[in-house]
């Protein structure tokens, strides 16, 4: 948890950023002397937003958000409204967490043994998985979690085929890790959006292209954005970077790297971005193209860079 003073600091810088990004909201819609307020970057739209005064921090209406989620090793980065924050925990992040556990289990990263359903030669049992693919996977039987005899049949069969053939396989079903793959993916989209907001600010994510992104975060099964993430599994879990992509041309925009995932986000007015991605043959074939561009440092607190640019800068471009 970050210190209360840090939360107030994040509040102040973000409130100042919003006032710079949307000066007419302040001057035309609000009574004079309205105290500074924070606008949640998740539930903001081009026509409405939720505003919170400083007291909201003490009232727990604003809370710190980890990017990526804490369960994925993320750090507290910015404030969001508690409603958006807690909804994501159960509706998105829990799915992302369960999606990672089979991989973590096989890599030996889990501290405890992991429950699985193992099948060999048509016989299945509930079992516990230990060890790792590198050091040898261990399967532990659970006699009391299986019908009488199932255990003996399974290990008897395993013994037999291991003796008689060197071409055999066990299938492992990670039934305790069942998750909605779309919700798991959108958890990463949300994290990428929040990192982009923290780095580049309101002016950037209020671009028209981001309406589709927020729609997808609010409703993971909507068709507003269907292709946005690739897996590059050779990356370390702690890798973090924002890449301004120049090539290939159809991926011009941002690539947000978080561990093994790369999430693609548009520049503010690129309304065709996700349609290009969907049509891209490399994406369709599941292969990863090499990206060319420049890397920006990962944010460690709200920086909101574009909001503090000279206001005469009308459009934000990275070309
Ligand atoms: Zn919100």
Provide, rounded to the nearest whole percent, the portion of the chain with pLDDT above 70.
94
| Radius of gyration of the chain measured on its C-alpha atoms | 24
What's the 312 CA to ligand 1 centre distance in angstroms?
29
What's the 83 CA to ligand 1 centre distance in angstroms?
6
The model's pLDDT over 188-215, given as tens digits with 9 standing for 90+, comes to 999 999 999 999 999 999 999 999 999 9
What's the 87 CA to ligand 1 centre distance in angstroms?
10
Question: What residue ranges of the chain have pLDDT lower than 70?
Answer: 233-235, 281-288, 313-319
Query: How much is the pLDDT for 283?
Result: 63
What's the 49 CA to ligand 1 centre distance in angstroms?
8
Rounded CA separation 269/133 (Å):
46
What's the 151 CA to ligand 1 centre distance in angstroms?
50
Query: How much is the pLDDT for 105?
Result: 86
Handedness of CA 146, 148, 150, 153 (dihedral sign): positive
What pTM value is reported for the model? 0.86
What's the 184 CA to ligand 1 centre distance in angstroms?
19
What's the 86 CA to ligand 1 centre distance in angstroms?
10
The structural domains of the chain, with segments of one domain joined by +, span 4-101+180-308, 114-177
184, containing H or E segment:
helix 181-200
What's the 64 CA to ligand 1 centre distance in angstroms?
12
Query: How much is the pLDDT for 235?
Result: 65
What's the 51 CA to ligand 1 centre distance in angstroms?
9
156, containing H or E segment:
helix 150-164
Query: How much is the pLDDT for 58?
Result: 95
DSSP state of 223: S
The model's pLDDT over 161-191, given as tens digits with 9 standing for 90+, comes to 889 888 888 899 988 888 888 999 999 999 9
Count other Cβ atoms within 10 Å, centred on residue 122: 7
What's the 5 CA to ligand 1 centre distance in angstroms?
21
Are 168 and 123 in contact, with CB atoms under 8 Å apart? no
What's the 43 CA to ligand 1 centre distance in angstroms?
4
């Amino acid at each position: 948890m970050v210190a209360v003073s840090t939360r107030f600091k994040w509040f102040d810088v973000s409130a100042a950023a919003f006032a710079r990004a949307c000066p007419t909201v302040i001057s035309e819609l609000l009574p004079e002397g309205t105290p500074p307020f924070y606008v949640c970057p998740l539930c903001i739209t081009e026509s409405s937003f939720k505003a919170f005064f400083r007291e909201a921090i003490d009232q727990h209406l604003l809370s710190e958000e980890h990017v990526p989620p804490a369960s994925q090793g993320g750090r507290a980065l910015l404030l969001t409204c508690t409603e958006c924050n807690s909804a994501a925990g159960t509706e998105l992040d829990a799915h992302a967490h369960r999606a990672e556990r089979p991989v973590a289990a096989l890599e030996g990263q889990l501290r405890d043994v992991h429950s699985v359903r193992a099948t060999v030669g048509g016989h299945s049992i509930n079992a516990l998985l230990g060890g790792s693919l590198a050091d040898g996977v261990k399967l532990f039987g659970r006699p009391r979690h299986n019908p009488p005899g199932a255990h003996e049949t399974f290990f008897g069969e395993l013994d037999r085929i291991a003796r008689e053939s060197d071409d055999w396989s066990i299938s492992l079903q990670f039934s305790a890790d069942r998750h909605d793959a779309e919700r798991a993916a959108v958890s990463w989209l949300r994290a990428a959006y929040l990192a982009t907001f923290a780095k580049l600010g309101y002016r950037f994510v209020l671009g028209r292209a981001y309406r589709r992104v927020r729609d997808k975060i609010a409703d993971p099964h909507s068709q507003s954005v269907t292709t946005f993430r690739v897996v590059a599994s050779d990356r370390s879990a702690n890798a973090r970077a924002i890449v301004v992509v120049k090539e290939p041309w159809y991926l011009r925009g941002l690539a947000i790297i978080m561990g093994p995932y790369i999430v693609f986000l548009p520049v503010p007015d690129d309304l065709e971005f996700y349609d290009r991605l969907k049509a891209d043959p490399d994406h369709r074939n599941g292969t990863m193209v090499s990206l060319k561009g420049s890397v920006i440092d990962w944010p460690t607190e709200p920086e909101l860079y574009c909001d503090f640019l000279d206001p005469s800068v009308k459009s934000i471009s990275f070309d």
